[in-house]
Structure 1
């Protein structure tokens, strides 16, 4: 394929060289004449292991060149890959001016050459969700004529290992609903060793942010745990070396699915004890200290949503923090029941495992402190809880789908992201 890569920074220069190495004919475009001249001479425009040798090789083979003339580069191009920077504005917002400029150049070229070959525009610059479609609509001609298509494909290149990362990413994300764009991008990266995931443009944009934010969380977490370990004379390297060996829970997808707040007898009290310990040792651990407030705010969001819907009679299915147990300690559903009841909402609870008469020890103590009138709220069947309700909050109960459908009222599943919660306020009081 004939490919134009806009931007010869870290992402662009590596992308251009690697695509050329895979057999595509690539033209790099950059406003910085110094970078363009370097590539033309077979030199790397920046320091990255292996890049200089690769650029020299593909330039000598005639598959990579560079220019400052965008229109000239776009002649007969099949794909335009946008890799320009999106730095922070002074107020922390994302600056998209460079992407806008490139899309404006591509849009101008398309308007001047309405009969040219179809062009697939692939954006790799990091953009917040919704930005790609907004900028394309603002800077490019109406796509109805079929002259071009658009895809958003985030990159996962780490400086110092970018060439290896290009060929072996965790996945190839193709954000598009356009079959032509999907086929073009699939062909463009067909030598990349990674599973392909087609998603919406907004999802593709979000994946990059989720990945980078989680990397930042992991680094901050490791450093805070190291400070904690140092304060208690523990070898932080040994601690984390053992920690990462657990691929079942510690390094896995099990705790990375949006849903209900955490609760139970372990996580809240252990986080609380850890925070007390770091404070006692005069160790700064702002990430750890944010965990409980963040968890509480997630529960509050659900309660606020129920109140905004105007529900006055609510069926809460599942009270324990986890299905199949009767552990009520720090269950988010206990907080939900307590708060809604305090707001004047009539709450009826069904949990097939929880029996107040059989609760013992700290479990009994906790519920008698937080929800002393539990026995008056519990009913003995899902049908009894649902009867006359304005809506259902699906907590830890594993209610059959047909039961929820037959209920005939909205269901707010606490174990799903908020976008799946009911959105229309009800008139019944």
Structure 2
């Protein structure tokens, strides 16, 4: 099929590349000329395992094209995906300006019949706003406001479907190619049913062994995405709060995790204690869902607590450090292992490392930081966060170099390269002989044997 994807970020680029890899003719359109030029030159603007090869394959086969030409992109395709950003507005709601601008652009160039698929994470009711925006542009062009009338007169027509994404950063290509579910929200009209069949046909190669397609009404599909992220965020915050309590009670949150995760009604996923969630999805989606509920006089009390607990959890490592070394950290140098909000991505949005680094610097410390892939992005966002204190951060080439001259080691992101350090070597290099582990990567006994103090989250501390 001929497909256009508006937006070349995490969702749009993965969607376009994987659909092209499945044999479709895909055009990815973006307003960022520099990004389009980079993609056409063979570069990738984000780090996502496996994505570079899929993009290169699609370009080499002539099935994946990047452009800024909206008119050609709309004319090219049967299905038009909207996969642009929906950043949080000042009041916490999702900002739909980019989504609606794409909708208006489609309306200005629409010909024939098109399926407009909302792939962006959007509040309930967005599909109706997209349809209204497209219809408004068709009216300006002299076409009818009625879909039935447009069909009768052979005028340009469309349907809007909700097709939320469920891609995990760091595993997005695999998630797209082997989806756990494909949700399509369509209305029960002639155009809606036609659009649904086209979407089924598009996704057929991804459901050959087992059809995981779930069809529902548009509003339910829109809410499903928010509900999924809200549930996962809830599990994370719940475990973080339990971890903090476990420390006070002398319990081990890792043993507790195994105990409750063995219950099939609970399972093990998203039960790891840490420094709080971040990234492009959970923070803004939780905030947007809370705002949607508030606007309807239906407060989500559990989710409100989840958000507040997460913000508090980002302060836990800093509090542990202050408890050990005092409020004034002047003269101390901290090695930071891991900057991105999670492994296998360079995404620094709402990363807990940003909160910790800002506090350490504010209290007079110096930092030696390393991340396997997020260094460039970290330098960019930290420069925005820190203003004039960036000169007290040294970005190193390796995690071993980060501990050279450092007094204390702090682990913020659980990259594989950090899993098996030489603790005895660390004990000789860290003058304060202390590790603060925000991801519970090590067994306390192994750290203790090397003569190091160890401060994990919700586990036995080694003083």
Distance 2:68 2:160 in 1: 23
Check conservation: 1:5, 1:28, Cα contact below 8 A.
yes
Q: How does 1:47-86 map to 2 (within 5 A)?
A: 47-86=47-86
Of residues 113, 121, 125 in structure 2, which corresponds to 1:126? 121
3-state SS of paired residue (1:8): coil
Check conservation: 2:40, 2:66, Cα contact below 8 A.
yes
Distance 1:89 1:289 in 2: 17
Does the C-alpha gap of structure 1 residues 222 and 57 become closer, same or farther in structure 2, counting only changes over 3 Å?
A: same
Check conservation: 1:14, 1:51, Cα contact below 8 A.
yes
Distance 2:36 2:252 in 1: 49
TM-score by length of 1: 0.56
Residue 193 of structure 2 is matched in structure 1 by 179
1:151 is the counterpart of 2:161: yes
Q: How big is the shift at 1:287?
A: 6.2
Does the C-alpha gap of structure 1 residues 139 and 148 become closer, same or farther in structure 2, counting only changes over 3 Å?
A: closer
Does the C-alpha gap of structure 1 residues 289 and 98 become closer, same or farther in structure 2, counting only changes over 3 Å?
A: closer
**1:245-292 deviations in whole A, cap 9, x for unaligned?**
111x3349xxxxxxxxxxxxxxxxxxxxxxxxxxxxxxxxx969969x
Distance 2:172 2:108 in 1: 32
Q: CA RMSD in A?
A: 2.1
Distance 2:184 2:246 in 1: 42
Q: How big is the shift at 1:38?
A: 2.1
Q: Paired residues, what number?
A: 252
Check conservation: 2:234, 2:303, Cα contact below 8 A.
no
3-state SS of paired residue (2:106): helix
Check conservation: 1:220, 1:287, Cα contact below 8 A.
no
> Which structure has the greater CA radius of gyration?
1
3-state SS of paired residue (1:188): helix
Check conservation: 2:230, 2:303, Cα contact below 8 A.
no
TM-score by length of 2: 0.52
1:218 is the counterpart of 2:232: no
Q: How does 1:335-346 map to 2 (within 5 A)?
A: none
Q: How big is the shift at 1:134?
A: 2.4
Q: How does 1:262-281 map to 2 (within 5 A)?
A: none
Residue 163 of structure 1 is matched in structure 2 by 173
Residue 132 of structure 2 is matched in structure 1 by 137
3-state SS of paired residue (1:53): helix
Distance 1:233 1:216 in 2: 26
Residue 104 of structure 2 is matched in structure 1 by 104
Check conservation: 1:6, 1:81, Cα contact below 8 A.
yes
Does the C-alpha gap of structure 1 residues 290 and 96 become closer, same or farther in structure 2, counting only changes over 3 Å?
A: closer
Does the C-alpha gap of structure 1 residues 288 and 74 become closer, same or farther in structure 2, counting only changes over 3 Å?
A: closer
Which one scores higher on RCO, CA 8 angstroms, separation ≥ 6?
Answer: 2
3-state SS of paired residue (2:42): coil
Q: How does 1:20-419 map to 2 (within 5 A)?
A: 20-110=20-110, 113=111, 116=112, 118-140=113-135, 141=138, 142=145, 143-144=147-148, 145-146=150-151, 147-177=157-187, 178-193=192-207, 195-247=212-264, 249-251=265-267
Q: Which runs of 5+ in 2 are unaligned?
A: 139-144, 152-156, 269-300, 307-463
Distance 1:44 1:290 in 2: 38
Q: How big is the shift at 1:132?
A: 1.2
**1:140-176 deviations in whole A, cap 9, x for unaligned?**
3333324222211000011111101112232111000
Does the C-alpha gap of structure 1 residues 210 and 26 become closer, same or farther in structure 2, counting only changes over 3 Å?
A: same
Residue 352 of structure 2 is matched in structure 1 by none
3-state SS of paired residue (1:155): coil
**1:166-193 deviations in whole A, cap 9, x for unaligned?**
1223211100021111111111111224
**1:85-112 deviations in whole A, cap 9, x for unaligned?**
11101111210000000000001112xx
Residue 461 of structure 2 is matched in structure 1 by none
3-state SS of paired residue (2:15): helix
